[in-house]
Structure 1
Amino acid sequence: MDVSHILLHSYSRQSPVEFYTDSLIFRPVRSRLSPALGSLRAPSFRWWFLSQVLSASGTMTQGVAQSWLVLRLTGSGLDLGILGSCYMLPVLLGGPWAGALVDRVDRRRLLAVTQVLFILLAGALAVLTFTGAVRVWMLFLLAFVTGAVSAPDGAARQVYVLDLVGGERLASAVSLNEVVINVSRVLGPATGGIFLATLGVPFCFVANAVSYLPPLAVLLTQRRRAGRGAAPIRRAPAGPGAVRAGLRYAWSTPALRYCLLMAAASGMLFNLGVGLPLLATRTFHLGGGGYGLMMATFGVGGVAGALLAASGRGMPSGRSVRLLALLTGISILATAAAPLASMAFAALGITGALSIWFIARANTLAQLRAAPSMRGRVMGIWVMALPGAQPITSPIVGFTAEAAGPRAGFGLAGAALLLAAAAGWRSLADAGVATEPAAGVTAAPDRSRADVAAGRPEAPALQPTR
């Protein structure tokens, strides 16, 4: 019996409705989701992904409790801003140094250390609140230390997924990380609200400490398993020039430079706690429920955008990244200019999808375009740009909203993203074919796009120049 007879026999048992439903709906959906979920086929990444859902949700739960505790202690909105700045300042200033550290040490071991530190910091918050000894300056200090740990942790997480899945599945892994972030935006605050209403503030910190145990267990039980075709890790030399070399490399490589600038510009959008509540309350006259629904709408769109980004195969082209940046900027401006709340909700959902699609593809392009010896430093600078630049961009958004209105404040992210995309339009015109060699290195012969997408190492011809 040949294949055609087998297929005919299979479909003959289906009704016409079942046949057309399977052919026109489910089969295309399955074919689209297959590459999107491809990174989950790697067992090491699958366990890491599941643990990150819990860990990110625990972080969001603690964030809700910290803000509530600051307001209970001082009732000052300024103190809330200081709390956020204390966390973000080390991320902004320490990003390049954190990236240099990631290039020098084993990423798995570094992440295991940061998980332990996060557990201790959350435990300290729990003890201080349980005993009633907590003061607002203690919250500021612990937020600063947490930010200092988050700088190397964030850079290491970015590169570690490439160690696990390889370049061919990196787009799927990076995009699924965006799914984790958007799911945690729902689960974390919801858990925090329930704990605040029932068990009290200390249990939010306990929940966060416990949430780091699954990723720690994953890191301790799995040894590094490189994804298919992943390049071997090359440790960068230690020294004071390593950070300067990383900054110089990222700025002198046009594709990386403009991806980083666009990431910093998009931070104005992703810090939804500044521009969106003003747009919801002052422009569309919505209450807390309406603001929460806007946040959820953006999150649902973000999940869709992450799946779209994950469905791409191999290395994204510079052209696709610049186009998505352009569309994201337009959708942000459309949301800000929406005359009706219903239209703003629709535009916000589209903005969520496009922005996450864009940022996931830009992150993938930056990782695969960076030379392996520079990848940690490039990702450290990425974390410095997003979310590290928010202590700079958030006050700008707030000032614009107060001076020119909430629409202008929210739309500022769209204008900044359009300017960054326009500045890098020509530099991102290529198809993303080759990794950019690090400074002081003679480039090997050009590799094919398939080699780059698979994360295959450069040819041995790379030699230091004298």
Structure 2
Amino acid sequence: MTDITDSNTTDNSPADGSNTRSATVVDDRSDPTTDTITSTATAETPITAATNTTASTSPARTTHASLWRNPQYRAWFTADTASAVGLAMKGFAISLVAFSLTKSLPTAGWLATASMIAAQTADVFGGTLVDRHNRKRLIILNAICGAVLWGAVFALLASGLLTFPVFAVVIVAASTINGLLGSATNAMLRSIIPTADYPKAQSLNQGRDSVIALAGSPLGGVLYAFGMWVPFAVASIMYAIAGISAGMLRVDEHVRDMIGRNGERNAANDTSAVARGSFVDDFVEGWRWTLRRRTLMTLTTIAALLNFGVNGIFQSVQLQLVGSGVDSVRIGFVSTAVGAGMLIGAVIAARVCDRLAVGTGLVVMSVAALATLAPMIVSDAYPVMLVSSLLCGLPVPTINTLLMGFIFAKVPTKMQGRVNSSSNLMCLLPTMFCSAIAGSLLPTIGFRMTVALFLLALAANVAIVLAMPAVRSIPAADRWNEAEL
């Protein structure tokens, strides 16, 4: 599933659609608040199959300290971090470049919407692709495409040859490729660490994302001030580093071929691959599996409302500031405020994620998300935007860690890509139109009324969480084996 703010799962920036790193409520790297519930991816079942498979195939030890001692995790973390930095650099500049080329807020907003539609449409099939092919190769291919495409934008901007149609084509192409291949990173993590270490790994990812959000947008604003092409040059370099780091991974992915369709190992011959069905069969199997999990369906609804509300408000803030002529550095500080809140929130998440019940955390954090953004309905002053952004970042890491950890633990290894893509689509379907809605409404009804619309989605989410016993009763990590997805 997708993060409220980044995740990875995924490519959270409007240009990549993303996804996918957390069950984040937002799948957009340009806005750190988009990677919370996914995705992922992005923010990631049958209880017995998922648990047994992980325990027997994961090469890492079960202690949290083993994460940094595991060279495969270090290589994975480096690749993931490099791509996250690249996303932050180019994600910040996309709206500014689009507006500078067209002088139109609706056009800039619809470009972000078009990129998300392309990404999510591709991601529908990307999950099946990731489950059928070598994930390491897909990660490297995605990094190569990112380096080439954003390098081309850098070259065209530096030479003064970039036009809006060309820019739009590159954005949509990058989003489509990321939708097809981006979920491979999170899906591969299940082959690197055991389920017991995932809450710790997710809290580390949230802290890392918070630091990037804290420094990334101001740095992007400074780089943009030096030249519109500079953030894209840095993004291209970061994708190249991600590809090199992914090339250092040495993970045996053949374990997926030894797992039957019921999620159990092939007892007859552990060394022989189970015959695969067609692409269509695997695609349908992933959707059928996802749609039959009632709790998962409820969680995706919650994520969809959170993503739509939080992302919509932050898209409104960004476009409002761009349209008002605010300089790029001050615009970047809004994301810095979110990052500061997420950094504090990541510290809290690391302390409570192992023992806080998922249901309790969802209730508290959903109310907090609504309360922290409500002040913007009465004031559009820049200090109010900064304070609300800071406070809104606090609950994001905990929501991501709890939801993504629970879903990750309940989904079998062989199904990670398909469940991630199907749940991402449902989580992010309304969010695809946040930029277009914000860009269209701001010139007509103003900032406060636009924010009020997105706050209604957050209020609806609070009502659903309070009204659903199945969600409120999801236990802490040590009792996930007793819960059903």
TM-score normalized by the length of structure 1? 0.73
Distance in 2 of aligned mates of 1:421 and 1:52: 32
Match 1:179 to one of 200, 207, 210: 207
Shift of 1:189: 2.6
Shift of 1:358: 0.8
Structure 1 residue identity aligned to 2:236: A
Distance in 2 of aligned mates of 1:110 and 1:396: 33
Structure 2 residue identity aligned to 1:217: I
Shift of 1:450: 7.7
Distance in 1 of aligned mates of 2:220 and 2:465: 37
Distance in 2 of aligned mates of 1:111 and 1:339: 43
Structure 1 residue identity aligned to 2:244: A
Contact 2:220 2:231 in 1 (8 A): yes
Find the counterpart in structure 1 of residue 184 from structure 2. 156
1:82-231, aligned counterparts within 5 Å? 82-198=110-226, 200-224=227-251
Structure 2 residue identity aligned to 1:211: M
Find the counterpart in structure 2 of residue 368 from structure 1. 409
Q: Deviations over 1:237-263 (max 9, x none)?
A: 433133233223222202211222222
Distance in 2 of aligned mates of 1:270 and 1:296: 15
Shift of 1:193: 2.6
Structure 2: gaps of 5 or more residues? 1-62, 261-273
Contact 1:55 1:211 in 2 (8 A): yes
Structure 1 residue identity aligned to 2:104: S
> How many residue pairs align between the two structures?
399
Shift of 1:214: 2.1
Find the counterpart in structure 1 of residue 33 from structure 2. none
Distance in 2 of aligned mates of 1:141 and 1:278: 21
RMSD between aligned alpha carbons? 3.8
Match 2:359 to one of 294, 308, 319: 319
Structure 1 residue identity aligned to 2:150: A
Distance in 1 of aligned mates of 2:314 and 2:239: 25
Match 1:377 to one of 410, 415, 418: 418
Distance in 2 of aligned mates of 1:97 and 1:344: 38
Task: Select the structure that is richer in helix.
Answer: 1
Q: Deviations over 1:300-349 (max 9, x none)?
A: 11122233334456697542453345434443465456789778766643
Q: Deviations over 1:8-46 (max 9, x none)?
A: xxxxxxxxxxxxxxxxxxxxxxxxxxx988743433223
1:45-64, aligned counterparts within 5 Å? 45-64=73-92
Shift of 1:292: 5.2
Structure 1: gaps of 5 or more residues? 1-34, 434-447, 454-466
Are positions 1:408 and 2:452 aligned together? Answer: yes
Q: Deviations over 1:31-67 (max 9, x none)?
A: xxxx988743433223332443333222222233333
Distance 1:333 1:141, change over 3 A: closer
Distance in 2 of aligned mates of 1:221 and 1:429: 41
Distance 1:195 1:290, change over 3 A: closer
Contact 2:110 2:436 in 1 (8 A): no
TM-score normalized by the length of structure 2? 0.70
Distance 1:207 1:83, change over 3 A: same
Distance 1:74 1:37, change over 3 A: farther
Match 1:418 to one of 449, 462, 468: 462
Shift of 1:166: 1.8
1:27-66, aligned counterparts within 5 Å? 39-66=67-94
Shift of 1:120: 1.4
